[in-house]
Amino acid sequence: METITTPTTVSLYRGDCLDVLPQLPKASVDLILADLPYGTTACAWDCPIPLDRLWAAYARVMKPTTMIVLTAMQPFAALLIMSKIGWFRYEWIWEKPQGTNPLNAKMMPLRAHEHILVFGSERGLYQPQMEVGFRPVRGFVSERKVKVAQSLFDDDEATELITAGNTSGEVYGLPTSMHRENAEGTRYPTTVLRVAPDRKTWHPTQKPEALMRYLVRTYTKPGDLVLDNAMGSGTTGVAAVIENRAFVGIEQDRKYFRRAAERIQSSAHLFSEDLEFDVHE
């Protein structure tokens, strides 16, 4: 097994994740963010991981607030959810600007999205990335809304509802004019993330760097540890380093492992002068 480490921030392992994960300290990981192999191609790297063993390995390294965020496509997405239905919380949809699978265009719709499945406990960390609204909020709390709210709820509930802003489009039938707006003129994210793929790719299933950075910011704080046990070409590691998070990456394929190491090292040197890599092969 190859190991590439920095003493405080980055550890990259080449090997089977089920062999490497037991070596990590218990309750040491703040976010698991991975694009697991689906087992739908003949590629050597597309070998499915036994999910029962993987969930057990995840549980060992998780903290009470750790979230597991896994990208997937159907039918693998359904298999993932049902393999740990008690941990499943919700999903995001990554919407692509263009559809794929054109050879099947006459038999099925072009595929323009992927699933991002979120698992964990109700105590899991969630930091919504607020977006700029369509226009500044003008008089969000009207006299009519105050009266309606107070007629439906007790004083404390009405105050909380009125001051929190509109977070769901229409709350208990209250009249609304804007979508997910608050007094700061920002809005909460929806479940659909529109992100274009990276122009340059190093792996057939590579996810956009911007998407990974968004998810890292949503589920971790600066200095937290992000784990990707199916690292591929290292996009999650690049995102973690740029966002000032620690990172543990595991990849079995030698070619992609070295490619990931190069990419993460390059990003580390650009965004932090303190990062030094020790390479062991």
**What value does the mean pLDDT take over residues 179-201?**
75
Alpha-carbon distance values, 172 to 151, 180, 193 (Å): 12, 14, 26
* 140 or 105, greater pLDDT: 105
Q: What's the rounded Cα separation, in Å, for the pair 252 and 231?
A: 9
**What value does the mean pLDDT take over residues 93-105?**
81
Question: Reduced to 3 states, what is the DSSP secondary structure of residue 278?
Answer: strand
Q: Does the domain formed by 2-129+196-280 have CATH 3.40.1520.20?
A: no
**Per residue in 144-155, pLDDT tens?**
444 444 444 555
pTM, entire model: 0.78
pLDDT at 99: 74
Sheet containing 62-72: give its strands across.
192-194, 88-100, 111-120, 62-72, 29-34, 225-228, 246-251, 10-14, 2-5, 278-280
Element at 33 (helix H, strand E): strand 29-34
Q: What's the rounded Cα separation, in Å, for the pair 197 and 252?
A: 24
The CATH 3.40.50.150 portion of the chain extends over 2-129+196-280
**Per residue in 200-224, pLDDT tens?**
665 666 788 999 999 999 999 999 9
- Examine the pLDDT at 72 and tell me if it is beyond 90: yes
For the chain, give the mean pLDDT. Answer: 79
Task: Give residue for tokens 């030698």.
Answer: 254
- Examine the pLDDT at 159 and tell me if it is beyond 80: no
DSSP string, 57-115: HHHHHEEEEEEEEEEE-TTHHHHHHHHTTTTEEEEEEEEEEEEE-GGGTTTS--EEEEE
* pLDDT bucket at 198, cuts 50 / 70 / 90: low
Alpha-carbon distance values, 96 to 110, 213, 262 (Å): 11, 16, 27
Which residues lie across from 87 on neighbouring strands? Answer: none
pLDDT at 208: 86
Asked whether 214 and 187 are in contact (CB, 8 A), the reply is no
